[in-house]
A and B are shown apart, each in its own frame.
Chain A
Amino acid sequence: GNSVTQMEGPVTLSEEAFLTINCTYTATGYPSLFWYVQYPGEGLQLLLKATKADDKGSNKGFEATYRKETTSFHLEKGSVQVSDSAVYFCALSEWSGGKLTFGQGTILTVHP
């Protein structure tokens, strides 16, 4: 079956630091890959996605590249802000819009 593994948190950074959250996946087919963000007390928001190998998703300064050879979709941001503090979920779907398999989530805290 499908599975997603994220680096364990929590991750604590100072403002303007570089962020990497690792994500690897196992899938039988060719899934679409997603990063979702959940701010305190809220639901999930799509942060970025990639639908095929070598695609790069980007949004709000965050980036992730779909690496089929390493089955990875690591999330990166060059300079984090306090407002980026949230829980980040890596996820995959066998078809765009289908049911999602989530990683365990990574709590990010950014200090001023």
Chain B
Amino acid sequence: DTGVSQDPRHKITKRGQNVTFRCDPISEHNRLYWYRQTLGQGPEFLTYFQNEAQLEKSRLLSDRFSAERPKGSFSTLEIQRTEQGDSAMYLCASSMGTGNTEAFFGQGTRLTVV
């Protein structure tokens, strides 16, 4: 499968624990996005990378959230001191640079905080 892949697919954690998710974009894509989707809602933008540079962050991304894309390839999203309100599907998407606007989404990581 040459699409966007995310790992793990599901994560259950206790409140207060830290979690980290990984996203592997389509190999030639230099843009990478993280979105969060709660049940019955559309995805909400969290952050955007162009290569290794994090260029945009939503106000939704509190200081407990941090994202990295160290070599401009895969990305990680870490949530520290998880809260029940963090329970959601975390979606990663990637796209090529200028000239091609389509964003391809991964299947997401479903986080449940108990």
Are A and B genuine complex partners? no
| Chain B residues proximal to chain A, CB less than 8 Å | none
